[in-house]
Structure 1
C-alpha cells in the first residue's frame, strides 16, 4: 500500500496530509519518527485560526446613534447581530468550511459598568439591552466583546467538528458625548 504524505510546518502547527486528512500535531511528530505507516486522523482547526477569520465581530448598533446623547428618561439602547458567520478557507490545500456562532455578549458602557448576556438585543422600540447613563462627559465609547463557538468540516463532507474553546472579538462604537437636559437646553 502506498502512502503519499508530507509533514508541513506552519506557525505553531505541524500536520501530515494523506491528500484528504490531517494528522494532529502530536501524531505527526510521533509517527514521523517511527517510520510506521501513517494513520489517518482528523483535521484540526484552532480557535486562533478562527479568530483571524472574524475580523469585525458581530457589530454594534445603538439608539440614539448620533454624537450627542442627552441624559433624560431614556437609556442608551444597543443591539448586535445574532447571525452566524460562515467562511470557506483552504487549509494546507484542503477546502474547509468554518461556521462561527455568537454565544455571549459583554457590553462595556465606558463609564465603569459592564453587562454580560446571551441576548444580542433588539432595536427600539422593542429593545432588550440598554444602559442608563448618569454622568456627563465627552468621548464615551461602548465596547462589545462577543464570544463565539465554532464548527468546521472538510468541504463536501457532512460531519461537523467543534473547535476547542471559544473565540472572542472586541469592537468599539463611535464616540459620543453625554449631556444633561436642563431648562435652558443642554449642559455638558
Structure 2
C-alpha cells in the first residue's frame, strides 16, 4: 500500500502559525524582527482504499517572505523566541510590511495497527495567513538632567 503525494496534499494540514517579537508587530529600523513557529509534526487519520491510516506530516522547510523586496528567508529552523532566537530579519527603512510564512511538509504514513512508518514520495506546502509589521525609526534626543 502507498499514500500518493496527491492524497498527502489533499489532507487538511494546518498551516504553521507564525509568531513574532516584538509581539505587537511594531519594530525599529535596523533592529531584528524575531520570527518563529512550531516545528512539531502533525498527525492526521484518513482512509486509503478503505484502509485506515495515520499520516505524520513533519515540517522540513520554512520560507519567510518579509514584504520588503528581499528574497525569502528559507531555513529548516522553525526559530525560537528571545533570547534564544535563531531566525530574524532587520528592515532598513520605515514602512508597513506584509509578512507570510510558507511551510514545506514531508509525509509518512502508517497502516492502523502497524508500527512501520512508510514515506510519502513528495512534499506538501501550507501558507500562513499574512500579517502586518510596522517599522518605525527612533530618533535619539539629548536631554538635560534636572
After TM superposition, the score normalised by the length of structure 2 is 0.85
Aligned-partner Cα distance in 2 for 1:55–1:84: 10
What's 2:38 paired with?
81
Aligned-partner Cα distance in 1 for 2:51–2:113: 11
1:71 Cα offset (Å) = 2.2
Contact 1:54–1:169 (Cα < 8 Å) also in 2: no
Report the count of equivalent residues: 140
What's 2:17 paired with?
59
Deviations 1:9-53 (A, max 9, x none): xxxxxxxxxxxxxxxxxxxxxxxxxxxxxxxxx2x3222322332
What's 2:135 paired with?
178
What's 1:160 paired with?
117
Q: Whose radius of gyration is greater, 1 or 2? A: 1
What's 1:103 paired with?
60
Give the CA RMSD over aligned residues.
Answer: 1.8
Aligned-partner Cα distance in 2 for 1:54–1:142: 23
1:180 Cα offset (Å) = 1.1
Q: Which has the higher helix share?
A: 1
Deviations 1:69-89 (A, max 9, x none): 2325x3100011110000111
Structure 2's unaligned 5+ residue stretches are 142-146
Structure 1's unaligned 5+ residue stretches are 1-41
SS of residue paired to 1:121: coil
Name segments (4+ residues, structure 1) moved above 4 Å.
none
